[in-house]
Amino acid sequence: MATKSNCYCCGKTVTKGYAKRHCLSHNYTDSDCENCALLKIEDAYDTDYWLYVDIGLKNTLRDLDGFLRNIWLECCGHMSAFYQKHHEKIPFSRKMNSFEEGSVLLYDYDFGSTTTLKITFVGQTTRKKQSQKNSVRLLLRNEPFIFKCSCGKTAEYFCNECDWDDDYPFYCKECVEKHENEVEHYPLPVVNSPRMGVCGYTGEHDTYTFNPDDYT
């Protein structure tokens, strides 16, 4: 699986192993800067899905929750929660400046079909002051994976019921129509998210598409 990302600040291709160092190279030092926590966010069980973001130290876990829902998780308005070690729940009002570098949190979205993320505080950065709406800034994101349909074409759909039955779950547009006619399965779109195929997730709130034309 891919372990690279394009940088949303400069367009450079960066490996996951070099990601922290690259993010720290984008420190902003003018008088209108703000201090931020640099976070590495991964699926707790499939670390090929990963993000690097920064968030103002005065911002809260509630701000981070909203960002995670939009980019990776939101489908049906499920509940969510942050935890520290020993599964101690953390209030959403907790500010970023209360966590030390090296702190690790777990985050659960949906207490039925749960998606669990691991959040690591890997450092601090400075950036130009952001609005409250943009309090969490995406820096790096794993490149989208290319999955193949059994016919050889690029897959656009994932069938979670096939996956549950240990059958091959990826389908192109043509094959998924045949599949839906043969069985009462309702495949979901292939998305760049660890919640692909879970519940009703379609990625409709995810607008964080990397555009290489911005850097040409």
Residue-wise pLDDT tens digits, 153-212 = 999 999 999 999 999 999 999 999 999 777 778 899 999 999 999 999 999 999 999 999
Model pLDDT for residues 102-115, shown as the tens digit of each residue: 999 999 999 999 99
Task: Identify the DSSP state of 208.
Answer: -
**Strand 50-56, strand 33-43: pairing:** antiparallel
Rounded to 5 degrees, what are φ and ψ at 213? -65, -20
pLDDT higher than 70, residue 1: no
User: Which pLDDT does position 133 carry in this prediction?
Assistant: 83
Number of residues that this document lists for the chain: 216
Per-residue pLDDT tens digits for 89-100? 999 999 999 999
Secondary structure letter of residue 155 according to DSSP: P
Calpha distance 125→37 (Å, rounded): 6
**In Å, what is the CA distance from 128 to each residue of 27, 54, 180?**
9, 11, 49
CA distance 30 to 136: 20
Instruction: Give me 51's structure tokens.
Output: 């993000």
Residue 2 has pLDDT above 70, yes or no: no
Distance from the Cα of residue 38 to its chain's centroid: 15
pTM for this model (two decimals): 0.94
